[in-house]
Amino acid sequence: MVTIDITDFQSGVHDVELHPDAEDADLDPSTFRDLHVEAELHCRRDRILAHLNVAATATLTCDRTLNPYDESLEGTYSVLFGPASMVGREGDRFDEVRALDPTDREIDVTDIVRDTLLLAVPQRTIAPGAEDEDLTTTFGEPDDAEAGSQDDIDPRWSKLKELKNGSD
């Protein structure tokens, strides 16, 4: 769980830096590492506006070469923690407004960190330099080898061959 302790915060702006593990943010540790969260908290009497900058390194698989590579991911998100009356009625839930009880000692930002990093993963993952690599675009035997193998056809298929040649 990724939480920010708010017990000592007075009204004003506070900066918090976190370095959670991937497991703490409900992320796959074999994919994500070196998580870094910078939070700027604007605290008032009954509410906290949090601006989060989240960064991590992810091991991705290149869509072009299928080779693994590391990519730096970064994203931002802002959320307001305030009184329950600000959250809205049931069914009108807004992700940007979360309930903050006056007795709360910490705010949970686990899902914000996780979702921000997952949304930062590009849809098309291309490793650096992969665009310059030559890719095989033809497969199988060359056309001239196919012509030489026509004589080796099983005689049971000769009627189908006649149908094919007859339709040309």
pLDDT exceeds cutoff 60 at 145: no
Q: Is 8 domain-assigned?
A: yes
Q: How many domains does the chain have?
A: 1
Is 116 part of a structural domain of the chain? yes
Region of residue 12 (left: phi > 0; alpha: psi -120 to 50; beta: else): left
Asked, for residue 160, whether it belongs to a domain, the answer is: no
Decide the pairing of beta strands 32-43 and 3-5: unpaired
Q: Is the pLDDT assigned to residue 108 strictly greater than 90?
A: yes
The answer as to whether 158 is a domain residue is no
In a domain, 152, yes or no: no
Residue 167 falls inside a structural domain: no
**What residues make up the domain containing 96?**
3-130
**pLDDT, average across residues 123-133:** 87
Assess if residue 136 is contained within a domain. no
Q: Please report the pLDDT score of residue 162 as a whole number.
A: 79
